[in-house]
Amino acid sequence: MSAVPSPRPVTAPEFRAAKARGAKLAVVTAYDYTSARLCDEAGVDCILVGDSVGMVVQGHPTSLPVTLDEMIYHTKCVMRGARRALVVADLPFMTYQVSPRQAVRNAGRLMKEAGAHAVKLEGGVRARDAIRACVDAGIPVMGHVGLTPQSVHQMGGFKVQRDTEQLLADALAVEAAGAFSVVVEGVPADLGAKVTGAVGIPTVGIGAGAGCDGQVLVFHDMMGLYPDFKPKFAKRYADLGAAIKAATEQYCREVREGAFPAAEHTFR
């Protein structure tokens, strides 16, 4: 987790310990073998298998329709491509809110059936009992506070969260419940820095400023593969969407003109 990442697999305790060393953590949200393998080989510290798969892969307007079985499937795919990175799988909507027992059962499925190294669930104060129950069962948990996408309708949309008192209470509750890290999403930069200074576990920011201990971006956002929504916080490191479209247009032309397949693409 330095400038030149160690080849050793990243564990939840090592991820947590990075804060004390002042090491910044690079996290990417990915959903399949190919993207996971590329991110892992590039040196990311953690791959988050997010329920945002519902939007960028399945085409839903929110993450709410995603099921636990779908998360298990995508996590299995990611696990096959990850060799070094810590793999954290999202618990989707209504798989942990009913009771701590439900949370442990479903988090256990992500660990046992999919092979995840840890799980992530949304909510601060309201989720502390679920977090504690999972941790007590031996399941590492990453929290998620601020803008929590599973609460999009309650929040009235994907809106920046500015309630300092609530955000601090939520982050501290997540830490007290035993989480090894917490995602802080959609808050002003000064508030993201304040939360980072208030907790002893690493904060992973997404739209929370440079003061967080790490950052996470969605693979499809950073690679320019998801044109439907362009969040302010997402930096495009490549425009693969345009490149893929151009390549496919060329393929169509060559097929229609008889230029493909050529001799070198033909068995003899």
Q: Which residues are catalytic?
A: 185
Nearest-CA neighbor of 44 among 195, 258, 240, 215? 215
The total number of residues shown for the chain amounts to: 268
Nearest-CA neighbor of 91 among 109, 115, 113? 109
Nearest-CA neighbor of 74 among 113, 38, 122, 43? 113
- Judged by phi (left if over 0) then psi (alpha if -120 to 50, else beta), residue 60 lies in beta
Rounded-to-integer distance, Cα 149 and Cα 257, Å: 47
Side chain identity, residue 156: G
Based on DSSP, count helices (H) and strands (E) in the chain, helices before strands. Answer: 11, 8
Residue with tokens 């892992």: 40
Rounded-to-integer distance, Cα 147 and Cα 198, Å: 18
Rounded-to-integer distance, Cα 75 and Cα 73, Å: 6
CB 51 within 8 A of CB 31: no
